[in-house]
Chains A and B, each alone.
Chain A
C-alpha cells in the first residue's frame, strides 16, 4: 500500500513566521504535489514536482515555495505566513505513467494567527 506521510496533523503559527510542511512517500513515485483545501473552493494546486530538484507552479503559488532534494520528500515552505494561508494542506504522489492516480496524505491543518 502506498503511504504518503505528512509530518504534522495540526500546526499553529504566527503571522510572519517561516513555516515548513513536510511530506514523505514510500513508493518511489516520481511526481509529488501540494494542494490546499478550503470550504467552497475545493482543492487548489500550489506546486508540483515531476522529479528530484524539479518544480512547477500550480494555480496559486504566490506566497509559497517548495523543495525536492530527495525523491521521497517534498517540502512546502511559507516564507512569511499570513492569516489567509490558514487552510488544510494536502500532499500527494503518483508514478510518472499517464493515467496513474494520486495518492494523498491525511493533510496538515495549518492555522496562522
Chain B
C-alpha cells in the first residue's frame, strides 16, 4: 500500500466550477501537508501548505486537513482554464525530513 494515495483522474470540469481534490495517507509521522501544482513539462511548484487540522485559505484555494482520518483536500473556487495541471499532495515526514508525494490528480478546466 502506498503511503499517500490520490485519484489520478483526469478530472474534467467546466470553467467556474468548484473543484475538490483529495488525498489519503497512512503514516502518522506526517505532520506538514503541502500541495504542489505541476504544469506540463515543468517542475512542481508549491501552491499551499498547512500544519494543523482545519482549513487554510489563499485566494481561490482552500486546503483542508483532517489528521484523525488522515484525509487531505484542496478546493479550488471559480476554477479557470489556467488551473489545468496536475495537483500533487505531499506530506512532510518529520522523521526522515523529506516529502512523500502522491501520484497526482490531473485536472482539466474546460473554457
Contact present for A102 and B94 (CB under 8 Å): no
* Size category of the binding interface on chain A: 20 to 34
B8 touches A104 (CB 8 A): no
Asked whether, in the complex, the Cβ of B103 is within 8 Å of the Cβ of A41, the reply is yes
Please report B residues at the A interface, Cβ cutoff 8 Å: 4, 6, 8, 32, 34, 36, 41-46, 49, 51, 88, 90, 92, 94, 97-104
* Whole-angstrom CA separation of A90 from B97 in the bound complex: 18
B42-A43 in contact (CB<8A): no
Main secondary structure of the interface of A (DSSP, over half): strand
The smallest C-beta distance from B17 to any residue of chain A, in angstroms, reads 25
User: In angstroms, how far is the closest chain A Cβ from the Cβ of B11?
Assistant: 16
Partner of A45 from B42, B94, B98, B103 at Cβ < 8 Å: B98
User: Could you say which residues of chain B place their CB within 8 Å of the CB of A41?
Assistant: 103
**Nearest-CB residue, chain A, relative to B43:** A104
